[in-house]
């Protein structure tokens, strides 16, 4: 029995020993291989922030730094030339009239004896230059008389007398000043009227430049609402010299634009409000309705100071008929004769004044922005006749 117990114990010891040897080996085989690289915790990549955080304010007091002045970018403004002496400067623009009228006249006047047909020739020259039949007859009659009575002989003398007669026909005593100065605490109001294409919008812009050139301030009212381009056109003129333009919707009520323009002019304190009107000459009643309303509405602010009629010199005597309609509709206070540079018929100035009884106050002598001059009878006639001034 003792032997059996000892054998069992021996067996148990042997089994335990064998298991103890085998199991650790198996365990070692089951384990995953150790990582090849020793693990370092991954470093997260740093993404730069979109908005840099301002550093926390430092509580150190620093002397105040003056901010640099803000330079506002303004468009370069043009500085129109003053009106004085413009006509003399632009006299060469009357070359076409001068060669047609002046040279012809001086040629006849230089003849030794002025016979009947010479006087007829002089008469013809004046009529061709659009002086008008009536005015021509008066001028020639007076000149003839002077030559006869004074026994004038030299060309220079006859030229001088002719100049005097032409200046006389232009009634140099007429008031040609433009009423554009502010008064009674409000701006002067100028209406610019005339048929389409006469140069009305352009002239309105040029007048604005004349006034600015002479030291005033202006505001434009684009009351020609029938032609969209007219409002753009006048606005461009204004922008070039820093003048504001009040405009309305295309096809809108011209009277309402004119009213708003004058109101704005009063509010901003400009010297003159220039209103460009539409000149559709469909019929007299239509024109009267349109311009009459503009005038009535504007006059709610106070009377219109100046109504300038723009006439195209190249339309000659025909233009005079159209002009007459305007004078019947509105109280025209002055005429602006445009495009005198494009015609040989500069004598139209005399006819216009005589027929309408209204002074020519300004003349257009080109398409340039400053090609508008105050009308001076003596300087104009001298340029027209040419020769020795």
Ligand X SMILES: Nc1nc2c(ncn2[C@@H]2O[C@H](COP(=O)(O)OP(=O)(O)OP(=O)(O)O)[C@@H](O)[C@H]2O)c(=O)[nH]1
Binding of residue 136 to ligand X (CB under 6 A): no
Give the per-residue contact string, 157-196, with ligand X (x = CB under 6 A; - = no). Answer: -------------------------------------x-x
Q: Which residues of 31-42 are buried (b: 16+ CB within 10 A; e: fewer)?
A: eeeeeeeeeeee
Binding of residue 292 to ligand X (CB under 6 A): no
Q: CB 181 → ligand X: shortest distance, Å?
A: 25
Q: CB 344 → ligand X: shortest distance, Å?
A: 13
Q: Which of 104, 216, 252, 342 binds ligand X (CB under 6 A)?
A: 342
Residues 229, 242: Cα–Cα separation, whole Å: 19
Binding of residue 199 to ligand X (CB under 6 A): yes
Q: CB 342 → ligand X: shortest distance, Å?
A: 5
The answer to whether the CB of 384 falls within 8 A of the CB of 102 is yes
Alpha helix ranges (H) inside 170-279: 200-213, 228-241, 254-268
Binding of residue 227 to ligand X (CB under 6 A): yes
Q: Which of 222, 365, 373, 381 binds ligand X (CB under 6 A)?
A: 365
Q: Which of 86, 91, 159, 200 binds ligand X (CB under 6 A)?
A: 200
The answer to whether the CB of 374 falls within 8 A of the CB of 85 is no
Is residue 169 classed as helix, strand or coil in its secondary structure?
helix
Residues 43, 52: Cα–Cα separation, whole Å: 22
Residues 43, 40: Cα–Cα separation, whole Å: 9
# residues near ligand X by CB under 6 A: 21
Give the DSSP H or E segment for 12: helix 2-30
C-alpha separations of 324 from 194, 258, 318, 347 in Å? 11, 24, 10, 18
Residues 368, 260: Cα–Cα separation, whole Å: 29
Tokens of 276: 């460009």
Binding of residue 341 to ligand X (CB under 6 A): yes
Cβ-proximal residue to ligand X, closest one: 364
Q: What is the CA radius of gyration of the chain?
A: 46
Binding of residue 238 to ligand X (CB under 6 A): no
Q: Which of 159, 240, 301, 339 binds ligand X (CB under 6 A)?
A: 339
Nearer to ligand X, 123 or 371 (CB): 371
Binding of residue 201 to ligand X (CB under 6 A): yes
Binding site for ligand X (CB under 6 A): 194, 196-202, 224, 227, 230, 279, 338-339, 341-342, 364-367, 371
* Residue numbering of the annotated binding site for GTP: 194-201, 276-280, 338-341
């Amino acid at each position: 029995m003792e032997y059996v117990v000892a054998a069992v114990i021996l067996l148990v010891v042997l089994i335990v020993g064998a298991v103890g040897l085998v199991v650790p080996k198996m365990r070692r085989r089951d384990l995953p291989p150790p990582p090849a690289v020793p693990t370092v915790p991954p470093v997260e990549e740093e993404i730069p922030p979109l908005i840099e955080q301002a550093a926390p304010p430092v509580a150190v007091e620093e002397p105040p730094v003056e901010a640099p002045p803000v330079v506002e970018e303004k468009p370069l403004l043009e500085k129109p030339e003053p009106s004085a002496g413009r006509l003399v400067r632009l006299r060469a623009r009357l070359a076409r009239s001068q060669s047609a009228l002046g040279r012809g006249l001086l040629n006849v006047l230089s003849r030794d004896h002025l016979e009947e047909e010479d006087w007829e020739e002089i008469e013809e020259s004046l009529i061709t230059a659009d002086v008008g039949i009536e005015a021509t007859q008066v001028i020639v009659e007076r000149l003839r008389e002077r030559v006869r009575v004074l026994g004038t002989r030299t060309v220079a003398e006859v030229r001088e007398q002719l100049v005097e007669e032409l200046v006389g026909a232009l009634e140099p005593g007429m008031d040609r000043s433009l009423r554009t100065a502010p008064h009674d605490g409000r701006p002067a109001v100028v209406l610019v009227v005339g048929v389409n294409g006469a140069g009305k919008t352009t002239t309105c812009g040029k007048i604005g430049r004349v006034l600015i050139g002479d030291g005033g301030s202006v505001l434009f009212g684009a009351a020609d609402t029938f032609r969209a381009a007219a409002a753009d056109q006048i606005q461009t003129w204004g922008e070039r010299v820093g003048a504001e333009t009040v405009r309305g919707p295309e096809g809108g009520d011209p009277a309402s634009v004119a009213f708003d323009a004058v109101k704005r002019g009063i509010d901003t304190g400009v010297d003159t409000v220039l209103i460009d009107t539409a000149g559709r000459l469909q019929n007299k009643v239509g024109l009267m309705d349109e311009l009459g309303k503009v005038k009535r509405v504007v006059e709610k602010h106070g009377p219109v100071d100046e109504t300038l009629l723009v006439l195209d010199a190249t339309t000659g005597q025909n233009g005079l008929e159209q002009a007459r309609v305007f004078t019947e509709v509105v109280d025209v206070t002055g005429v602006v004769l445009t495009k005198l540079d494009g015609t040989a018929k500069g004598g139209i100035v005399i006819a216009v004044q005589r027929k309408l009884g209204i002074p020519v106050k300004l003349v257009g002598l080109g398409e340039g922005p400053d090609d508008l001059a105050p009308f001076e009878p003596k300087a104009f006639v001298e340029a027209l006749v040419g020769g020795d001034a």
